């Protein structure tokens, strides 16, 4: 059996081992694969693994040897899963690998905004505190989380993990979700997206990207009268959930309190992306998921999926 990983570098830049996958047969990995290289590199693959490499109907039609596609991620919006199904190829994802890591990153972004840790640490290297006439130096308003209203958009595994991390701060929790109220924890109230932006202090995006919710955070939600003044928006899900131009405008005009995101609609982004120059905007380079622990978990989940498939009981099938 030949197993080919087309874009392995972000999962394993050299600090991990592939042993969990190598035991199934011949394993071959590439750091990165361009669209023009996909068919050549995947031609002999029985098992194909991708993270962000795009796979279309044409690819599945021209890979007759392929038996299964493994996603080294929870998301799979870069793959035409319907086309894969039509060619009899199950697509299995690494669901659950990053629940703790991504939720932790959302908390890190939130605390960076409320306490300005990164900003003050940077400024102190430039003499800010040393030049202060007082024992403390503070030029921005710091925010206490106790009693704040937090809406989690998408109450799946990551959203539930985030709620667990938030509870010790004494916040009031809400969820924008398709789940019924009876299926939510007792301390979480279901609300609409519009109500979240109108009444909450913090909104965290933790939902999958679909054609239905693409660009759902836009000028309609970010206008005066609809948006609660000072609202903090956090996105550790997908960049395309928001209209980035509208978010940048809301930040420049002071309608939005802050935007913290680990994701953008184009990755890597252009150097002139409008959010790079927006005030109170905090951007990390899509690395919320990339703790060593989470990357190890991905490899083992992929091995488990492959083992289950070979036993005739495929798991984590998304198509």
Residues with catalytic function: 238, 267, 286
- How far CA 1 is from CA of 38, 68, 70, in Å, comes to 19, 12, 14
In angstroms, the CA 295 to CA 300 distance is 9
Closest CA to 61 of 87, 24, 35: 87
**Other Cβ atoms closer than 10 A to 305:** 24
- How far CA 34 is from CA of 61, 271, 288, in Å, comes to 18, 21, 24
The rounded Cα 161 to chain-centroid distance in angstroms is 14
Which segments within the chain are labelled E, that is strand? 2-5, 26-29, 47-50, 68-71, 91-92, 149-153, 172-176, 188-190, 202-205, 232-235, 258-261, 281-283
Upstream peptide bond of 268 is cis (omega within 30 degrees of 0): yes
Q: Is 205 left (phi over 0), alpha (psi -120 to 50) or beta?
A: beta
The dihedral built from the CA positions of residue 239, 245, 250 and 251, taken in this order, carries a sign that is: positive
Burial call 202-216: b when 16+ CB within 10 Å, e when fewer: bbbbbbebeeebeeb
């Amino acid at each position: 059996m030949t197993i080919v990983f087309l874009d392995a570098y972000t999962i394993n830049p050299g600090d991990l081992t592939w042993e969990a996958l190598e035991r199934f047969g011949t394993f071959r990995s590439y750091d990165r694969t361009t669209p023009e290289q996909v068919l050549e590199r995947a031609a002999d693959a029985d098992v194909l693994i991708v993270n962000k490499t795009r796979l279309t109907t044409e690819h599945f039609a021209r890979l007759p040897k392929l038996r299964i596609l493994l996603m080294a991620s929870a998301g799979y919006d870069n793959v035409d899963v319907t086309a894969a199904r039509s060619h009899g190829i199950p697509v299995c994802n690494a669901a659950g690998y990053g629940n703790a890591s991504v939720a932790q990153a959302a908390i890190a972004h939130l605390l960076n905004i409320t306490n300005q840790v990164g900003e003050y640490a940077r400024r102190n290297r430039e003499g800010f505190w040393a030049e202060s006439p007082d024992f403390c130096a503070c030029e921005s308003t710091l925010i206490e989380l106790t009693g704040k209203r937090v809406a989690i958009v998408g109450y799946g595994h990551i959203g539930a993990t985030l709620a667990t991390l938030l509870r010790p701060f004494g916040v009031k929790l809400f969820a924008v979700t398709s789940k019924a109220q009876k299926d939510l924890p007792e301390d979480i109230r279901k609300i609409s997206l519009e109500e979240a932006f109108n009444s909450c202090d913090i909104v965290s995006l933790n939902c999958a990207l679909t054609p239905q919710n693409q660009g759902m955070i836009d000028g309609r939600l970010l206008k005066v009268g609809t948006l609660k003044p000072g609202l903090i928006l956090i996105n550790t899900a997908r960049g395309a959930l928001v209209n980035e131009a509208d978010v940048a405008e809301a930040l420049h005009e002071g309608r939005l309190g802050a935007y913290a995101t680990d994701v953008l609609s184009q990755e890597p982004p252009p150097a002139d992306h409008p959010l790079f120059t927006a005030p109170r905007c905090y951007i990390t380079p899509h690395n919320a998921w990339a703790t060593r622990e989470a990357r190890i978990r991905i490899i083992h989940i992929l091995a488990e999926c492959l083992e289950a498939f070979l036993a005739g009981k495929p798991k984590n099938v998304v198509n």
